[in-house]
C-alpha cells in the first residue's frame, strides 16, 4: 500500500482545512468538512477489509450504504489538521443503512467524526439527488455572513438578492442563491434534516447566528463558493449603514445570465 498522506485527496483536504483556518473561518474546533471518496481514489492506499473500529452514526441514510468519506473529527481544530492529519481526520465507510461507520483510517487518538456528521451525510444525500457529481460538504463560521444574519432579513430571496448585488460575479458563482435556516440547535439530526431539505435547491445554506454550509463537486469549488458569498457579505457589512447610491440592477443581472450562460433562481430577479 502507498502512503495515504501522499494521496492527492489527502493533500487537498489538508490544504483546504489550513486555508479555511487562515481565513478565520474556523476558530477553535469550529467547522467541518466531508469529502466522498471513490473506490479508485482509495484503492492504492487503503485495505478495504481492514476495519479499525466501528462507530454508530445515530441516523439512517440507506442511500449512502458502502460510501466512503474523508471527514474532520469532532472537537478537533482546523489549525492542527496539517500538523497531525491522522488524529484530526478519519476515513469511514457507511454500512447498515448508514447507521454504522467502519473506520478505515485516522482518528488515531480514539476520536470520531464531527458532531455535524448527520447534517453532512444528509446533505450529501440531498445534493446527490440534484447533482450526481457532488462530493463535498463544508461547514464553517465566516464572520461577515454570520454578522449579516443579525442585521439583514432572513428571507431567502432578499438575502440572496443582497449578496448578488454586492459583487458582479456572485450571481454567476451561485445562481441558485443562498437558502437560510433560522437559529437551530446544532449537532442534531433535526438541523441535519433541515439543512438537507434546503440543500435540494441551493448549494449554500446559511445557519443563522452560526455559519454556513456549502456543497460542491470538489474542495476547490466548494471553498470558492463560500469564499465568494463571504466576500459579498463583507462588502454588505461595509456599506449597510451608508446611503446606497449605486447598485447592480436586475437588468444588469439578466445581462450576466446571458453572458455566462447561467440562470438565476426562478423568481429571484424582476
Q: Which residue's CB is nearer to Zn ion, number 118 or number 211?
A: 211
Residue with cell 479499525: 52
Among residues 90, 143, 81, 141, the alpha carbon closest in space to that of 114 is found at: 90
Q: By CB under 6 A, tell whether 186 contacts ligand 2HA.
A: yes
Shortest spacing between CB 223 and ligand 2HA, in angstroms: 16
Grid coordinates standing for 95? Answer: 454500512
Q: By CB under 6 A, tell whether 188 contacts ligand 2HA.
A: no
Q: Which residue's CB is nearer to Zn ion, number 85 or number 211?
A: 211
Shortest spacing between CB 15 and ligand 2HA, in angstroms: 20
Q: By CB under 6 A, tell whether 34 contacts ligand 2HA.
A: no
Q: By CB under 6 A, tell whether 29 contacts ligand 2HA.
A: yes
C-alpha to C-alpha distance for 80 and 241, rounded to whole angstroms: 37
Query: What backbone phi and psi angles, to 5 degrees, belong to 194?
Result: -65, -40
C-alpha to C-alpha distance for 114 and 117, rounded to whole angstroms: 5
The interface region with ligand 2HA, picked from 27-35, 219-227, 230-238, 249-257 by CB under 6 A, is 27-35
DSSP secondary structure letter of residue 160? H
Q: Which helix (H) or strand (E) holds 136?
A: strand 136-140
Interface with Zn ion (CB under 5 A): 211
Task: Note if 49 is an active site residue.
Answer: no
Residue numbers annotated as active site: 116
Residue numbers of the site for ligand 2HA (CB under 6 A)? 29-32, 115-116, 139, 186
Amino acid at each position: 500500500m502507498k502512503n495515504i498522506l501522499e494521496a492527492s485527496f489527502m493533500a487537498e483536504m489538508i490544504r483546504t482545512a489550513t486555508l479555511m483556518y487562515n481565513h478565520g473561518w474556523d476558530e477553535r474546533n469550529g467547522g467541518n468538512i466531508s469529502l466522498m471518496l471513490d473506490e479508485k481514489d482509495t484503492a492504492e492506499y487503503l485495505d478495504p477489509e481492514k476495519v479499525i473500529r466501528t462507530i454508530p452514526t445515530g441516523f439512517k441514510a440507506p442511500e449512502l450504504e458502502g460510501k466512503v468519506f474523508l471527514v474532520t473529527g469532532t472537537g478537533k481544530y482546523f489549525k492542527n489538521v496539517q500538523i497531525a492529519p491522522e488524529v484530526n481526520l478519519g476515513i469511514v465507510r457507511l454500512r447498515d443503512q448508514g447507521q454504522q461507520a467502519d473506520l478505515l483510517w485516522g482518528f488515531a487518538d480514539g476520536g470520531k467524526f464531527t458532531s455535524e456528521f448527520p447534517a453532512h451525510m444528509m446533505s450529501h444525500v440531498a445534493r446527490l439527488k440534484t447533482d450526481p457529481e457532488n462530493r463535498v460538504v463544508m461547514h464553517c463560521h465566516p464572520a461577515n455572513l454570520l454578522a449579516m444574519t443579525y442585521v439583514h432579513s432572513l428571507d431567502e430571496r432578499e438575502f440572496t438578492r443582497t449578496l448578488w448585488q454586492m459583487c458582479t460575479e456572485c450571481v454567476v458563482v451561485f445562481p441558485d442563491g443562498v437558502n437560510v435556516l433560522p437559529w437551530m440547535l446544532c449537532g442534531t439530526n433535526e438541523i441535519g434534516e433541515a439543512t438537507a431539505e434546503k440543500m435540494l435547491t441551493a448549494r449554500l445554506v446559511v445557519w443563522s447566528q452560526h455559519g454556513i454550509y456549502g456543497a460542491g463537486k470538489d474542495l476547490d469549488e466548494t471553498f470558492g463558493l463560500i469564499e465568494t458569498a463571504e466576500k459579498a457579505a463583507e462588502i454588505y457589512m461595509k456599506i449597510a449603514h451608508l446611503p446606497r447610491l449605486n447598485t447592480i440592477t436586475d437588468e444588469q443581472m439578466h445581462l450576466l445570465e446571458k453572458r455566462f450562460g447561467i440562470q438565476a433562481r426562478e423568481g429571484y430577479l424582476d
